[in-house]
Amino acid sequence: MANIAKKVSWSGRGDDRGERTPLLNGDEEVKYNRQVPDTLDYDNSENQLFLEEERRMSHMGFRCLEIRRWVICGLIGFLTGLIACMIDIAVEKLAGYKYFAVKLNIEKYTELGGLSISLILWAVLNSAFVMFGAIAVAFVEPIAAGSGIPQIKCFLNGVKIPRVVRLKTLVIKVFGVICSVAGGLAVGKEGPMIHSGAVVAAGVSQGRSTSLKKDFKIFEYFRRDTEKRDFVSAGAAAGVSAAFGAPVGGVLFSLEEGASFWNQMLTWRIFFASMVSTFTLNFFLSIYHGKPGELSSPGLINFGRFDTLNYFSFFPLHFPGGVLGALFNIINYWLTIFRIRYIHRPCLQVMEAMLVAAVTATVSFAMIYFSNDCQPLGQDNTEEYPLQLFCADGEYNSMATAFFNTPERSVRSLFHNPPGTYNPVTLGVFTLAYFFLAVWTYGLTVSAGVFIPSLLIGAAWGRLFGILLSFIASSQSIWADPGKYALIGAAAQLGGIVRMTLSLTVILVEATGNVTYGFPIMLVLMTAKIVGDYFIEGLYDIHIKLQSVPFLHSDAPPTSHWLTAREVMSSPVTCFNRVEKVGRIVDVLSNTSTIHNGFPVVAHTSPVIPTRKICGLILRSQLIVLLKHKVFVERASSRLSQRKLQLKDFRDAYPRFPPIQSIHVSQDERECMMDLTEFMNPTPYTVPQETSLPRVFKLFRALGLRHLVVVDNENRVVGLVTRKDLARYHVGKDGLEELHLAQT
């Protein structure tokens, strides 16, 4: 029997608000959760204005809109590709200068014996880069911290985190990621690309920028949640596509996260944006590398081509991925809690980031210094910065290779360098050190992704495993290619940390460029997820949970058939009459104890007894626009001279509708009446009270609703189901549990 662990009293509670989670106590939450998330409404409010506009539009008009959508998607892809290209080149250049300077310095002091000066130079250079990045993030736009994937996941899920898709965020993100990667942190530049793509999409599709305070007066039709979300999905997909050269993976990422909003034409446009993005990156990088026409770098990271799969080698690495991934997540979780408690002032955050940079440099230096792993300098020398250090002439220090490279190159060499390139002890120490550095780094106030560090850790222990195996098996057998173990290890580690499944498989398959690797990669990701889920959730989900976001999963919890709409809904509901007094509207909207965003509109069939029969649904944002334009019944006669309120007025206010406090309503006006008929959605979706939770959930999720009205069998409003009401149920150890979201 399903067991409702903690049932809390629910009446008088606000709906749809960004309240804080009781996971952390009062004060801490405030610091972590400075942005109160809002929810998106994917259900068009089909009011009279909307229907009139749609009906006025000819078939050709719809076709033009469709063409415009395609153009926007093309632009999104192009700009995202361009940004990826820019980041790539900037990082290469900056890191190149840095490694060159340090290398010269080390070479100079290797003989003289003052290597501590080199260490200090390196640590200072790294810290300086990281400082700039951290300052920008901490002081200018804190939402640009991290990979941005949790935020984009939330956005696609229907939760709007403020400022997440602004131009300013993009600028800081790009600057931050260049600094943190060039600063030698254990981070990747791939995750932030997804966020960047999403910002580009939001900006281009709306035809204006709040940060620049510029409205280009184009694409006004797309200024609503439904359309914006579609474009943001395309942007996220374009970001994935540019990051990994994986257009199909990008599409699947968007679909996996946007889950229910599948639509054939939309998917096709998302795919177009992805394709354009990877093509743009490829094109410009091919020009930058001086080989125009040779399109060989479809993504920021390329795994290089893997040859035909031999399937004997793919079975023993699944388990450690899940365990190590879970370990990573557990440590990072505690670290994040610690950070929320003690490191919440921007200057402290910058200092922590600088400290991590310095420690990273020191650890790297120590490992290079103490390792005696000398490798002969090959003919076809693929290392850009071979460091001789204490090795004999014609040899180089292979540990230095691992640290004197961008992590992307290190991953590739772990995959492809011939057997014997790496000493097992070197690899073991490297894995350990990099693991803890990466755990410490994720969650710093810098823009950075966790994909590449995860891949690198996994590739290192995967290759280590392969080497050890080849000691046991005969070294010439088919078991002996450690590069393939590195690939599987990388997949296992990444899967164990982020727990993405479908899209990650496709991304990795596209990055390896060989479809036969799909099956083992899928198996390894599945096992890593199952094993990891036993211990703790995925890294992104942890961070989403810490932000107390009402995140809806794709299905209702399996044992939730016990619950009905009557039990999950919020009630009583504040309703408005079809023709309502302005004073009451203002009072309801101003009431800070219950911030509602949607209000059922009811018709009073009998003037004496209020029957609350539903006849529509109106949104807070619509009411605010109406109040702002003073659309009162008493002014209707004088309004004849004025122009009629149009959909355009709502669009101009989108998405940042003014707060109710900024609208002045005089005492006289409070006595006026407002006729909501024209503006409310006359056909909101409703469910009867007996509907089971899974059924409510399915309707809510499939249509991307924000409010679902619960009615009795006389069609009277009895409650309202919002995202929070559904998000608080989840399956725990003792069956169904209720989270303490959204309490006032």
Interaction residues for a second copy, span 592-611 (CB under 8 A): 603
Q: Return the number of the residue (233 or 364) whose C-beta is nearest a second copy.
A: 233
Instruction: Judge whether 40 and 706 are in contact, CB under 8 Å.
Output: yes
Q: Return the number of the residue (246 or 531) whose C-beta is nearest a second copy.
A: 246
Q: Is 226 in the site for a second copy (CB under 8 A)?
A: no
| CB 16 to a second copy: min, Å | 22
Q: Return the number of the residue (686 or 743) whose C-beta is nearest a second copy.
A: 686
Bridge-based pairing state of the strands 707-711 and 729-732: unpaired
Q: Is 478 in the site for a second copy (CB under 8 A)?
A: yes
Q: Is 210 in the site for a second copy (CB under 8 A)?
A: no
Tell me, what DSSP letter sits at residue 34?
-
Bridge-based pairing state of the strands 707-711 and 686-688: parallel
Q: Is 687 in the site for a second copy (CB under 8 A)?
A: yes
| CB 95 to a second copy: min, Å | 26
Separation CA 681–CA 75 (nearest Å): 33
| CB 476 to a second copy: min, Å | 15
Separation CA 687–CA 719 (nearest Å): 10
Q: Is 516 in the site for a second copy (CB under 8 A)?
A: yes
For residue 166, the tally of other CB atoms under 10 A from its CB is: 20
H or E element in which residue 696 lies:
helix 693-703
Tell me, what DSSP letter sits at residue 102?
H
Mark the segment that binds a second copy (CB under 8 A) among 375-383, 385-393, 590-598, 684-692. 684-692
Q: Is 4 in the site for a second copy (CB under 8 A)?
A: no
Q: Is 574 in the site for a second copy (CB under 8 A)?
A: no
Applying CB under 8 A, which of residues 35, 336, 715, 743 lies at the interface with a second copy? 715
Give the x/- contact pattern for a second copy in 282-321, rule: CB under 8 A.
Answer: xx---------xxxx-x---------xxxxx---------
**CA–centroid distance for 326 within its chain:** 20
Q: How many residues bind a second copy (CB under 8 A)?
A: 90
Applying CB under 8 A, which of residues 204, 615, 625, 721 lies at the interface with a second copy? 615
Mark the segment that binds a second copy (CB under 8 A) among 172-180, 245-253, 332-340, 461-469. 245-253
| CB 254 to a second copy: min, Å | 11
Applying CB under 8 A, which of residues 206, 254, 454, 505 lies at the interface with a second copy? 505
Q: Is 735 in the site for a second copy (CB under 8 A)?
A: yes
With tokens 């068009």, the residue in question is 44
Angstrom distances, CA of residue 491 to CA of 432, 442, 462, 494, 583: 18, 19, 9, 5, 60
With tokens 């069939």, the residue in question is 605
Q: Is 104 in the site for a second copy (CB under 8 A)?
A: no
Q: Return the number of the residue (110 or 611) whose C-beta is nearest a second copy.
A: 611
Cis peptide upstream of residue 346 (ω within 30 degrees of 0)? no
Q: DSSP characters for 169-190?
A: HHHHHHHHHHHHHHTT-S-BSS
Q: Map the footprint of a second copy across residues 338-357, applying CB under 8 A.
A: none
SS3 of 317-348:
CHHHHHHHHHHHHHHHHHHHHHHHHHCCCHHH
Q: Is 722 in the site for a second copy (CB under 8 A)?
A: no
| CB 344 to a second copy: min, Å | 35
Applying CB under 8 A, which of residues 613, 628, 651, 740 lies at the interface with a second copy? 613
Q: Is 692 in the site for a second copy (CB under 8 A)?
A: yes
Over its C-alpha atoms, the chain yields an Rg (Å, rounded) of 28
Q: Is 264 in the site for a second copy (CB under 8 A)?
A: yes
Mark the segment that binds a second copy (CB under 8 A) among 396-404, 539-547, 646-654, 709-717. 709-717
Q: Is 392 in the site for a second copy (CB under 8 A)?
A: no
37: phi then psi, degrees, rounded to nearest 5: -75, 145
| CB 37 to a second copy: min, Å | 22
| CB 354 to a second copy: min, Å | 39
| CB 617 to a second copy: min, Å | 12
Separation CA 516–CA 377 (nearest Å): 34
Applying CB under 8 A, which of residues 89, 167, 645, 699 lies at the interface with a second copy? 699
Mark the segment that binds a second copy (CB under 8 A) among 175-183, 263-271, 443-451, 480-488. 263-271
Applying CB under 8 A, which of residues 256, 373, 580, 725 lies at the interface with a second copy? 256
Q: Map the footprint of a second copy across residues 362-391, applying CB under 8 A.
A: none
Q: Is 473 in the site for a second copy (CB under 8 A)?
A: no
Structure tokens at 216: 């280009």
Bridge-based pairing state of the strands 214-215 and 208-209: antiparallel
Separation CA 651–CA 415 (nearest Å): 51
Mark the segment that binds a second copy (CB under 8 A) among 160-168, 278-286, 361-369, 532-540. 278-286
Bridge-based pairing state of the strands 38-39 and 159-160: antiparallel
Applying CB under 8 A, which of residues 6, 345, 561, 648 lies at the interface with a second copy? 561
With tokens 């550095």, the residue in question is 437
Applying CB under 8 A, which of residues 169, 196, 470, 691 lies at the interface with a second copy? 691
Applying CB under 8 A, which of residues 7, 55, 213, 643 lies at the interface with a second copy? 55
Nearest to 547 by CA among 165, 37, 17, 13: 37
| CB 53 to a second copy: min, Å | 9
| CB 490 to a second copy: min, Å | 19
Q: Map the footprint of a second copy across residues 175-204, applying CB under 8 A.
A: none
Applying CB under 8 A, which of residues 162, 513, 610, 655 lies at the interface with a second copy? 513
Strand boundaries in 123-171, DSSP class E: 159-160
Residue 718 DSSP SS3: strand
Mark the segment that binds a second copy (CB under 8 A) among 32-40, 146-154, 582-590, 687-695. 687-695
**CA–centroid distance for 90 within its chain:** 23
Separation CA 192–CA 274 (nearest Å): 16
Nearest to 618 by CA among 565, 560, 573: 573
Q: Map the footprint of a second copy across residues 58-97, applying CB under 8 A.
A: 58-59, 62
Helix, strand, coil percent values for the chain (each to nearest 5) = 60, 10, 35
Q: Return the number of the residue (116 or 554) whose C-beta is nearest a second copy.
A: 554
- The single-letter code of the amino acid at 95 is A
Bridge-based pairing state of the strands 395-397 and 374-376: antiparallel
Q: Return the number of the residue (163 or 416) whose C-beta is nearest a second copy.
A: 416
Instruction: Judge whether 397 and 344 are in contact, CB under 8 Å.
Output: no
Instruction: Judge whether 215 and 175 are in contact, CB under 8 Å.
Output: no
Applying CB under 8 A, which of residues 207, 428, 518, 583 lies at the interface with a second copy? 518
